[in-house]
C-alpha cells in the first residue's frame, strides 16, 4: 500500500469541464511532485513544490494549474483539456533534505472525451 494517496483513481471528463486531482501524504515530506505518464513510458515531470512553494514548472500548458494548500496536500486543477492529455497522473513526495528518493502514489487515470 502506497503512503501517497491520490483521488480519484479514475476520471472521465469532457474538454469543457473543470475538475481537480488530489494528492495527500502524511509522512512529513516537504517536496511534492506531479508527473504525467503515458502507457508503457516513464513518468514525465510537470511540477515540483518545495516547502509549499512552486519550484519547478516544466513548461506545462496553463490548462493545468497546480496548488499546494499545505505541506500534506497537492492539487492539480484541470480546465479545457485536450484528448492528448489523457494519461496517468502521478503524484510523488520526498522527505526533507538533499538527494531524498521520491515515493509515488498509484495515480489518477484521466480520460478526456
Binding-site ranges for other proteins (CB under 8 A): 2, 4, 6, 31, 33, 40-43, 45, 48, 50, 55-56, 90, 92, 94, 99, 101-107
From the list 31, 21, 20, the residue with the least C-alpha distance to 92 is 31
Query: Is 88 in contact with 105 (CB distance < 8 Å)?
Result: no
Residue 45: Cβ-neighbour burial (10 angstroms; 0-12, 13-18, 19+): middle
**CB 85 → other proteins: shortest distance, Å?**
19
User: Between 17 and 104, whose beta carbon lies closer to other proteins?
Assistant: 104
**CB 44 → other proteins: shortest distance, Å?**
8
User: Between 52 and 106, whose beta carbon lies closer to other proteins?
Assistant: 106
C-alpha cell recorded at residue 32: 511534492
**CB 23 → other proteins: shortest distance, Å?**
11
User: Between 83 and 101, whose beta carbon lies closer to other proteins?
Assistant: 101
User: Can you give the C-alpha Rg of the chain in angstroms?
Assistant: 13
Amino acid at each position: 500500500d502506497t503512503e501517497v494517496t491520490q483521488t480519484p483513481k479514475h476520471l472521465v471528463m469532457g474538454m469543457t469541464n473543470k475538475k481537480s486531482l488530489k494528492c495527500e501524504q502524511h509522512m512529513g515530506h516537504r517536496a511534492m511532485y506531479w508527473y504525467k505518464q503515458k502507457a508503457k513510458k516513464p513518468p514525465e515531470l510537470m511540477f515540483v513544490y518545495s516547502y509549499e512553494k512552486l519550484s519547478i514548472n516544466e513548461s506545462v500548458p496553463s490548462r493545468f494549474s497546480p496548488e499546494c494548500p499545505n505541506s500534506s496536500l497537492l492539487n492539480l486543477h484541470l480546465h479545457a483539456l485536450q484528448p492528448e492529455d489523457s494519461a496517468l497522473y502521478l503524484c510523488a513526495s520526498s522527505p526533507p533534505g538533499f538527494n531524498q528518493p521520491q515515493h509515488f502514489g498509484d495515480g489518477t487515470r484521466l480520460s478526456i472525451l
